[in-house]
Amino acid sequence: MNPITQNTTNVRHGSSSRDRYPRRSFSRERIPRVMPKKVSDVIPPIGGNIRIIPLGGVEEVGKNMTVVEYGEDIIIIDVGFQFKDGDTPGVDYILPNTKYLEDRKDKIRGVIITHGHLDHIGGIPYIMDRIGNPPIYTRLLTSILINKRQEEFPHLPTLDMKIVEKEETITLGKLKVEFFTVTHTIPDAMGVMIHTPYGLVVTPGDVKLDHFDGVPTDAEVTEYNRFKNQKVLLLMLESTNVDNPGFSTPERVVHENLDEIIKSIHGRLVIGTFASLLERVIKIIEIAEKYGKKIVIEGRSMKSNVEIVRHIGMLKVKPDTIISSEDMVNYPPDRIVVLATGAQGDEFAALMRMSNKTHKYFKITPRDTVLLSSSIIPGNEKAVQKLKDNLSRQGAKIIHYRSSDVYVHSSGHGNRGELEWLHRKIAPKFFMPMHGSHYMLRMHEDLVKSAVGMPVESVIVPDNGTILEIQNQGNNFVRLKETAPDEVVTVDGFSVGNVQEMVIRDRKMLAQDGIFLIVVSINTRTGKLKKSPDIISRGFVYLRESQDLLSAARMVIKKSVENTTHNMNPINFDFVKSNLADDVGRFLFQKTAKKPIVIPVILGV
């Protein structure tokens, strides 16, 4: 018997099959761009020009990262990531493309982090080592949140963390940098002012205003009066809620409403919210203690964040205010407030486990009230609805930010009225909208032109990787033809890099139509099949109920192989596989209107 030769390379369909599966780009269309052959081909800013490059955060909400470059000095603002979306199945996170910085490590003087949310710090473990691990400048809470997450990556170098405070000024290269306090949903959020020879480059980061009926508080007015006698060259301001009119609900109002609910509720109260909304988390615990109630913390991230704010003194409560889940049975339900993660319907989060009766210590009863103190992130609607359905089946009363006249959630991002007020107080010469989708950025552009009266030539709406420069001694704001690399970079398991479009496309196809694997044994002398083909199907059809289809498919396989190998000596396995994939793919589509990935495996005997 001749030795067996095996060819098991996975083969997709031939050219005709690829026509049936057109390539789909998962990057957005954008203004035509001129890419240099190499990143190093982009010349450094000359003649005292100031260069601004948003590497992320201007085509999406997330992965915020901005480069400010002057002479031989580069300053980076934020290193965030974006959570995966439907266009990138199987991917864990999406990162800014840092190739521009990797080629200029020696010029990076520091990284400034505005606050501790993951869309501003999430990329640090994956990016810092790539860009030379420069020092990080941020406030105390943010630094601890960064270091806590870094513990999950023990193989990485220790971060060079520098703590800065409000009003502090540091020097990075030839540039001085100053910080100011901003209102957001997490303590220690800060804005950044970079002093240049032609004026300030300013970004508040994520920001809203504390106000009374649209009138900012005295504290807000005092904070932004600092710009009254300053020459602001460029403002980079977020655009997340620019489409919402007026002023956002102040966090103070949410705190007042939560106070009333916690005081008056009968039975056990379960509050679901984001662990990252630390200002609200702290307030909930303080209110519960005020009314003699005990707090049970559920969810790993929630427990970690509460531990951090207690450690640094931002949360000061009695030792017995926070109790364990096991100790909850020792107190009447009226004295229990449960603070849990999972308000977005996350499958394995604490609140979802309570709702589907898989939590070790919690059983929802009709006496319980569940308060969802968060908005629904786009894409999570079905998961949140499932969560509410599960809770309702167990008789719980549900309070949601849309189901009540009482505000139990507010955004951490300012509405259109707040953004207009900030523009008038800061009064920049030039403006670059940031932190939002392209539509949001365009809406922000319209705002400053119509409501603030900024000239058209003073505003540029960028894409990720757009290179902007302030030239002619601060008199011109221009977009260069060259761009920094902006190809999608992903965290995919242990891999960090560019996931090929073919990989993403195959994952989508597998999810939609499944896989159809064919194992064929061929006599290498005659080209005939040695036995009936083996077929393995996953996610396409249920084999036991599709015997007629499989019998017909085996006939197609037999005919395709024997027709292709007729008078072929020696047998070209690649050619046989390509034809077989095409023939079977065409047959399956005709019979089922589905397009599974067809993978032939040919054994030559």
Report the share of the chain in percent with pLDDT over 70. 91
Q: Which of 14-18, 175-179, 348-352, 503-507 has the lowest mean pLDDT?
A: 14-18
For 193-216, give the DSSP string. Answer: EEEETTEEEEE--S-B--EETTEE
Residue 442 and residue 200: Cα distance in Å, rounded? 24
Position 38 scores a pLDDT of 54
Q: Kindly list the domain boundaries of the chain, sorted by start residue.
A: 5-23+500-604, 39-246+411-484, 251-400
Task: Please state the rounded mean pLDDT for residues 410-420.
Answer: 96
Whose CA is closest to 491, among 96, 33, 39, 2? 96
Report the share of the chain in percent with pLDDT over 90. 67
Position 87 scores a pLDDT of 66
Please report which residue ranges of 122-250 form alpha helices under DSSP H.
124-127, 140-150, 218-224
Task: Please state the rounded mean pLDDT for residues 440-466.
Answer: 96
Higher-confidence residue of 4 and 320: namely: 320
Residue 231 and residue 246: Cα distance in Å, rounded? 28
Whose CA is closest to 52, among 457, 476, 480, 467? 467
Residue 266 and residue 255: Cα distance in Å, rounded? 19
Position 508 scores a pLDDT of 74
Whether the pLDDT of residue 127 is over 50: the answer is: yes
Quick: pLDDT tens for 136-177.
Answer: 999 999 999 999 999 999 999 999 999 999 889 999 999 999
**Residue 180's beta-bridge partner residues?**
191
Residue 457 and residue 198: Cα distance in Å, rounded? 18
Task: Give this prediction's pTM.
Answer: 0.83
Quick: pLDDT tens for 385-410.
Answer: 999 999 999 999 999 877 667 899 99
What does the block give as tokens for 44? 């450094």
CATH superfamily of 39-246+411-484: Ribonuclease Z/Hydroxyacylglutathione hydrolase-like (3.60.15.10)
pLDDT band at 475 (very low <50, low <70, confident <90, very high): very high
**Residue 339's beta-bridge partner residues?**
271, 297
Whether the pLDDT of residue 78 is over 70: the answer is: yes
Name the most confidently modeled range: 66-75, 356-365, 482-491: 66-75
Higher-confidence residue of 491 and 287: namely: 287
What does the block give as tokens for 493? 């398991």
pLDDT band at 567 (very low <50, low <70, confident <90, very high): confident
Position 279 scores a pLDDT of 94
pLDDT band at 482 (very low <50, low <70, confident <90, very high): very high
Position 304 scores a pLDDT of 94
Residue 43 and residue 27: Cα distance in Å, rounded? 26
CATH fold of the domain at 251-400: Rossmann fold (3.40.50)
Position 341 scores a pLDDT of 92
Task: Please state the rounded mean pLDDT for residues 110-135.
Answer: 96
pLDDT band at 27 (very low <50, low <70, confident <90, very high): very low
Higher-confidence residue of 331 and 540: namely: 331
Residue 248 and residue 232: Cα distance in Å, rounded? 26
Residue 3, C-beta contacts closer than 8 angstroms, at least 6 positions apart: none
CATH match of 5-23+500-604 with 3.30.930.10: no
Residue 502 and residue 10: Cα distance in Å, rounded? 13
Three-class DSSP category at 416: helix
Position 348 scores a pLDDT of 82
Whether the pLDDT of residue 299 is over 70: the answer is: yes
Please give the DSSP secondary-structure letter assigned to residue 489.
E
**Residue 5's beta-bridge partner residues?**
604
Asked if domains 39-246+411-484 and 251-400 share a fold, the reply is: no
Higher-confidence residue of 94 and 504: namely: 94
Q: Which of 130-139, 158-167, 252-261, 559-568 has the lowest mean pLDDT?
A: 559-568
Task: Please state the rounded mean pLDDT for residues 196-207.
Answer: 97
**Residue 368's beta-bridge partner residues?**
none
Task: Please state the rounded mean pLDDT for residues 461-474.
Answer: 97
What size, in residues, is the chain? 605
Residue 597 and residue 221: Cα distance in Å, rounded? 61
Whether the pLDDT of residue 580 is over 50: the answer is: yes
Q: Which of 252-261, 281-290, 337-346 has the lowest mean pLDDT?
A: 337-346
- Whole-number mean pLDDT of the chain? 88
Position 574 scores a pLDDT of 87
Position 500 scores a pLDDT of 61
